[in-house]
Amino acid sequence: MLADSIPLYPLYALLFADSGLSGAQISALFAIWSAVSILAEVPSGALADRFGRRHALVAAGVLQAGGYVAWTLLPTFAGFALGFVLWGLGGALVSGAQEALLYDGLAAVGAESCYARVNGWVHATVLLAQLPAAAAATVLFAAGSYTLVGWVSVGVCLCAAALALRLPEPPPVTDGPGDDVDLGYLATLRVGMAEAAATPGVRAAVLAAALVGAFDTLEEYFPLITEESGVPVAWVPLAMLPIALFGALGAALGGHADRLRPVALAALLGVGMALLEVADLLDHPGGLAAVVLSYGTYRAVLVVVDARLQQRIASRSRATVTSMAGLLVDVVSFGIYAAWALGELPAVAAVGAVIALLLPWLLGAGTTRPTRTAVPVDRVGPGAEPS
């Protein structure tokens, strides 16, 4: 999630083009990035479960910094490829470890029921951070071109790694007999994969998280949707700001949406898909308002679905199982790409409507893991005790 909030993020495609890379070479770089992310997703989750989620976040920041160093010092295809390999590994380490560290940290003080609310705030902060990052990119590029933007991005990643090193990490909660046994890496990987594949409630929640999470791929098409709504190209970046803002608002309201039953949650997602259909029917800038509202509702649902998944996972396997969901997100995303290629926004909205219909069944399958008594968020912290 850090990558979206660095100054280099909105400029890296332009960096590749201005360095002389062809369209085919840029596509090859994206393919390398995706392949590394997919291959490393689950193994990195098991690393976080076995050796510590905090350590995984620290390593992720260092790896991403290394990737941007490669881009800055070696602005060639080989240098960019190396950077994407390091970035892909870093991103895979964050996926799963971040959610596991947050959920188990709250569980350690009996506040796991606050997870949706707190994680919603985290998602909202990341979305909002894209705005100053974009502004910083503009200023830094004017002052020192891609080189200055690159080195500042390296510094941001290293600062994030240093901050991650200071995060408290409680030991995983013991979920049953034998769960306190110290497993090796391969055993940790097997336990997590088995839980994701063989435990009915967890398996259904993993699938729900994958289907809903993959829909975030639509973000890649927001510039096209904005332009097709009648906004002049020069105004597209500014016109897209409300999408990010309402996405942040939706994520921040995820704690409230977590009170909804599966059917009501599915209805909320269905409303978001209907708004996309409305946006397609309106061929003027007013249609963009429907996209803005749709993205806000989607972000709220995404936060809740992740929370429902975390409630069902055994603590010691949390990062691995969450990484399994992340792997499936990458796979299902290809279906979203295909839907856009076949029918653009109406086809994507139709896929989203099908996902909404499946959601009550997936979230209703199995039972949630027992939760502890919640404590107010303002009491979560060192020394906090469950009420």
154 has pLDDT over 80: yes
377 has pLDDT over 50: no
My answer on whether 204 and 152 are in the same domain is: no
118 has pLDDT over 60: yes
Quote the pLDDT of residue 172: 64
169 inside domain: yes
Residue 132 burial (CB < 10 Å; 0-12/13-18/19+)? Answer: exposed
What sign does the CA torsion over 345, 348, 354, 360 have?
A: negative
How far is Cα 173 from Cα 190, in angstroms, rounded to an integer?
Answer: 19
Query: Distance of CA 275 to CAs 131, 240, 292, Å?
Result: 25, 17, 9
My answer on whether 100 and 205 are in the same domain is: no
348 inside domain: yes
Condensed to tens digits (0 to 9), the pLDDT of residues 13-29 reads: 788 888 898 878 888 88
My answer on whether 26 and 100 are in the same domain is: yes
Condensed to tens digits (0 to 9), the pLDDT of residues 91-113 reads: 999 988 899 899 989 988 888 88
My answer on whether 155 and 223 are in the same domain is: no
Quote the pLDDT of residue 181: 62
My answer on whether 71 and 170 are in the same domain is: yes
More confident residue, 372 or 356: 356
The number of folded domains in the chain is 2
232 inside domain: yes
State the average pLDDT for the chain: 85
Quote the pLDDT of residue 68: 95
My answer on whether 125 and 201 are in the same domain is: no
- Point out the domain boundary residue: 113, 140, 174: 174
- Residue 162 sits in a domain of what CATH number? 1.20.1250.20
Quote the pLDDT of residue 87: 93
Condensed to tens digits (0 to 9), the pLDDT of residues 307-346 reads: 999 999 877 888 899 999 999 998 898 888 888 888 888 9
My answer on whether 200 and 102 are in the same domain is: no
* DSSP single-letter state for residue 113: G
186 inside domain: no
Quote the pLDDT of residue 161: 93
My answer on whether 2 and 143 are in the same domain is: yes
My answer on whether 165 and 207 are in the same domain is: no
Domain residue limits at 231: 194-366
The rounded Cα 272 to chain-centroid distance in angstroms is: 19
My answer on whether 254 and 131 are in the same domain is: no
Condensed to tens digits (0 to 9), the pLDDT of residues 60-85 reads: 999 999 999 999 999 999 999 999 99
My answer on whether 58 and 141 are in the same domain is: yes
How far is Cα 347 from Cα 125, in angstroms, rounded to an integer?
Answer: 30
My answer on whether 232 and 143 are in the same domain is: no
DSSP 235-264: GHHHHTHHHHHHHHHHHHTHHHHTTS-HHH
Contact between 201 and 368 (Cβ < 8 Å): yes
